[in-house]
């Protein structure tokens, strides 16, 4: 037996060796299983199980320190009549839409700017990423101070420039609408670097010869962008925007660090409302229900940005590989 096996190994080139692979196939599934154990253990214990438990809890009246009783859809029925919840839902949608759209527009613009031949290119690119690296909470704290109602440096600047009067300062963090604008602004500020640098990575792959050819054919700058850059960039835009929408929709730390949902619940996102009701208020069931009600919107947002942008690629007959 062994002689025969050795004979076979030596007879054939090593790259196409079948017998060693045949032997491996016998236990490959088990081997794969053992290698997967650590990752799976974490994900099952701390992700899949909590996800299921969260779904279950949303159907119970669980409170802190007390197991819940099954109450069916009662939590969700209450939430539909809850003005704060409806408000948080609407604001979350507006927040996500406005912030993602502006982030994308400025991010793409910045990427196009950075794609120019600039002095200190590498340095500028590194600096642009800094808002993304600094922990969100810590930069949110800075914004909290920048937009402080009494001592805002923005107000100071506007007074100095003569746009407003010193006696009537802007109540950045006290007026619901202004506060909403401020948190959206902070979210945009935080998100632009990620989008810009990723899109820049995409732009770098577009061959300059395409632009040269298009320009020779008489294309304007806009046509260059519209018919060369944009189509080649769509796949990466789809992925980047999926992530951006996902993380904007479920944002928690920015709001919690800056406003805690205030003033008068104006800036509650679903995530922060869920924390306030579930953990601070102790109504775990209700909090879980709010968190679970994010799921359909999340799926819709992902589907939209994913397939909405991906479709273009199929239409143009590119392979999906």
Partner 1 sequence: MTATAGTDPKTTAALAAIGRSTAKDDHSEGMSYLESLPRKTVTVYLPLFIIMIVLLFPFYWMFITSIKPDQDLLDLHGGNPLWVGEPTFRHFYKLLFESNYPTWLWNTMFVAVCATFLSIVASVLAAYAITRIRYRGAQTVGGLIFLAYLVPPSILFIPLSTIIHVYGLFDTPFALILTYPTILIPFCTWLLMGYFKTIPYELEECALIDGASRWQILVKIIIPLAVPGLISAFIFAFTLCWNEFIYALTFISSNPNKTVPTAIVSEFVDGDVFRWGSLMAGALVGSLPLVILYAFFVEHYVSAMTGAVKE
Could you say which residues in the range 66-95 bind partner 1, by CB under 8 A? none
Decide: is 5 part of the binding site for partner 1 (CB under 8 A): no
Indicate which single residue of 5, 7, 8, 53 sits in contact with partner 1 (rule: CB under 8 A).
53
Residue 241: CB atoms within 10 Å: 23
> Looking only at residues 95 through 114 of this chain, which bind partner 1 when binding is defined by CB under 8 A?
106, 109-110, 113-114
Grouping H, G, I as helix, E, B as strand and the rest as coil, residue 63 is strand
Our CB check for partner 1 shows the closer of 99 and 257 to be 257
Can you tell me the distance from the alpha carbon of 178 to that of 172, in angstroms, rounded to the nearest whole number?
Answer: 5
Q: Which is nearer to partner 1, 4 or 15 (CB)?
A: 15
- CB-nearer residue toward partner 1: 62 or 99: 62
Under rule CB under 8 A, which residues in 135-194 are in contact with partner 1? 135-139, 141-143, 145-146, 148, 150-151, 153, 155-156, 166, 189, 192-194
> What is the closest distance, in whole angstroms, from the C-beta atom of residue 74 to partner 1 in the complex?
17
Q: Which of 1, 4, 11, 38 contacts partner 1 by CB under 8 A? A: 38
Q: Which is nearer to partner 1, 113 or 264 (CB)?
A: 113
Other residues' Cβ atoms within 10 Å of the Cβ of residue 72: 9
Q: Which long-range contacts (CB under 8 A, 24 or more apart) does 111-114 make?
A: 111/195, 111/196, 111/197, 111/199, 111/200, 111/202, 111/203, 112/203, 112/225, 112/229, 114/196, 114/200
- CA 129, distance to chain mean position in Å, is 16
| Residue 286 and residue 306 in contact, taking contact as beta carbons nearer than 8 Å | no
Cα–Cα distance, 258 to 33 (Å, whole number): 45
d(CA 230, CA 222): 10
> Residue 72 Cβ, how far from partner 1 at the closest point, in Å?
18
What is d(CA 82, CA 92) in angstroms, rounded to the nearest whole number? 15
Nearer Cβ to partner 1 (97/144): 144
Residue 59 near partner 1 by CB under 8 A: no
Q: Rounded to whole angstroms, how far apart are CA atoms 224 and 218?
A: 10
Shortest CB 221 distance to partner 1, Å: 10
Tell me: does residue 8 bind partner 1 (CB under 8 A). Answer: no
Q: Which is nearer to partner 1, 132 or 225 (CB)?
A: 132
Check: CB of residue 275 under 8 Å from CB of residue 289: no
**CB of 226 or CB of 314, closer to partner 1:** 314
Interface with partner 1: number of residues (CB under 8 A): 125
198 binds partner 1, rule: CB under 8 A: yes
Q: Does 308 bind partner 1 (CB under 8 A)?
A: no
| Bridge partner list, 125 | none
Q: Does residue number 24 form part of the binding site for partner 1 (CB under 8 A)?
A: yes
Q: Shortest distance, CB of residue 266 to partner 1, whole angstroms?
A: 19
Q: Nearest distance from residue 262's CB to partner 1, in Å?
A: 13
Residues in Cβ contact with 287 at an 8 Å cutoff, skipping those fewer than 6 apart:
274, 275, 277, 278, 279, 281
Nearer to partner 1, 13 or 72 (CB): 13
**291 touching partner 1, by CB under 8 A:** yes
Out of 80, 129, 264, 303, the residue judged to bind partner 1 by CB under 8 A? 129
Burial class (CB in 10 A: 0-12, 13-18, 19+), 39: exposed
């Amino acid at each position: 037996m062994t002689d025969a096996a050795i004979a076979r190994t030596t007879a054939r080139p090593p790259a196409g060796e079948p017998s060693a692979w045949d032997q491996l196939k016998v236990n490959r599934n088990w081997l794969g299983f053992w290698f997967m154990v650590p990752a799976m253990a974490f994900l099952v214990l701390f992700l899949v199980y909590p996800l299921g438990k969260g779904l279950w809890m949303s159907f119970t009246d669980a409170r802190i320190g007390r197991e819940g009783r099954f109450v069916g859809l009662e939590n969700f029925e209450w939430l539909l009549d809850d003005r704060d919840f409806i408000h948080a839902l609407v604001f979350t949608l507006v927040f996500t839409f406005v912030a993602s759209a502006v982030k994308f527009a400025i991010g793409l613009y910045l990427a196009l700017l950075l794609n120019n031949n600039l002095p200190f290119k590498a340095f500028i690119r590194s600096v642009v990423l800094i808002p993304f690296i600094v922990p969100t909470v810590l930069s949110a704290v800075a914004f909290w101070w920048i937009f402080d109602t009494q001592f805002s440096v923005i107000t100071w600047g506007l007074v100095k420039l003569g746009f407003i009067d010193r006696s009537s300062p802007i109540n950045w963090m006290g007026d619901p609408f202004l506060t909403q604008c401020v948190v959206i602004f902070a979210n945009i500020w935080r998100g632009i670097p990620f989008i810009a640098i990723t899109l820049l990575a995409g732009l770098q792959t577009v061959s300059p010869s395409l632009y040269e050819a298009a320009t020779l054919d008489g294309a304007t700058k806009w046509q260059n962008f519209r018919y060369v850059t944009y189509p080649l960039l769509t796949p990466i835009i789809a992925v980047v925007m999926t992530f951006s929408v996902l993380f904007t929709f479920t944002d928690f730390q920015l709001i919690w660090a800056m406003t805690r949902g205030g003033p008068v619940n104006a800036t509650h996102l679903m995530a922060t409302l869920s924390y306030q009701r579930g953990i601070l208020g102790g109504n775990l069931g209700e909090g879980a229900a709010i968190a679970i009600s994010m799921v359909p919107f999340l799926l819709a947002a992902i589907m939209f940005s994913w397939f909405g942008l991906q479709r273009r690629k199929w239409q143009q007959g590119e392979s999906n590989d």
